Amino acid sequence: PILVVNFYAPWCYWSNRLKPSWEKAAKIIRERYDPETDGRILMGKVDCTVEVDLCKRNHVQGYPSIRIFRKGSDLREEDGHHDHESYYGDRDTDTLVKTMEELVAPVSLQSHVSSDEEASSKVAKENGTKRPAPRAGGCRIDGFVRVKKVPGNLIISARSASHSFDASQMNMSHVITHFSFGKKITPRVMSDLKRLLPHIGGSHDRLNGRSYMSNPSDSNANVTIEHYLQIVKSEVLTRHYKLVEEYEYTAHSSLVHNFDVPVAKFHFEPSPMQVLITESSKSFAHFITNVCAIIGGVFTVAGILDSILYNSMKLMKKKIELGKNF
């Protein structure tokens, strides 16, 4: 059967608003699709303050959360995808009933009975062994944000106008694949940059590949992960054009206990200073001057050595002559 479950919390304002509509809709669906004779769809509810482990296994972090299990469970398939959907529609009785009707419409009563028999035999053959869903959920964030060149914060958090969140169950663990400022530097430009200036380009993506993990538990709940970034702009100018403009940064990260909903926070602060590296060419006259200076220096050193050698030989000869006279 199709199972539609309302995961709620008694203290949640939005869960209490949904309660009368949900109970009325469940009553109507129960009358239209009797679980004993039809059973194609069932509506239920779970109190997450009582069934804590069940809600954790279903990754419920906001209330109310309405989940649709088209196969009656949340089993993981071999491809690793979950078998449930989340309902984000209106929460009045008419809309809920209409949604349930649309879920049931593609499933005929005869096919439902046949599928139940097949599922029962399959479970019996497999001795009831099934792969449960993972205990942790997650998402992927990709994109860019335009910010001004002033200190600011980039905060990633859970927000909803019609849900309440259990802060103790929010897990802000994350892995940073790429995090940088300014335009993305192509691999070719980066290789040229590192070849010309090995000390430039090593800190424009300092957070890349780093993991920051926190497991919500009694001793490690409501954890906010904060990153403090100090940004310095660097420009490399050649004789004819600007080779690259990059923003390098240092990063310091910490885990902080928070009484509100945990977040992932990136605090960035641009430095008022800028590193400017320029390339300047020297004229041919400068080259000639350097050559003449080198030649003059060689002659000067040779003259000094010749004078020292000549005076030393002269002094030694004079001492020898004085020794003969005595």
- Residues with a catalytic annotation lie at 12
Distance separating alpha carbons of residues 161 and 91, to the nearest angstrom: 13
Distance separating alpha carbons of residues 34 and 156, to the nearest angstrom: 45
Strand partners, 176: 210
Distance separating alpha carbons of residues 97 and 87, to the nearest angstrom: 13
Distance separating alpha carbons of residues 113 and 115, to the nearest angstrom: 6
**What is the 3-class SS of 65-134, one letter each residue?**
EEEEECCCCCCCCCCCCCCEEECCCCCCHHHHHHHHHHHHCCCCHHHHHHHHHHHHHHHHHCCCCCCCCC
Burial class of residue 80 in the structure, from the number of CB atoms within 10 Å of its CB (0-12 exposed, 13-18 middle, 19+ buried): exposed
Bond into 64 cis (ω within 30) = yes
Instruction: Provide the CB-side half-sphere exposure for 140 (13 A, CA).
Output: 3
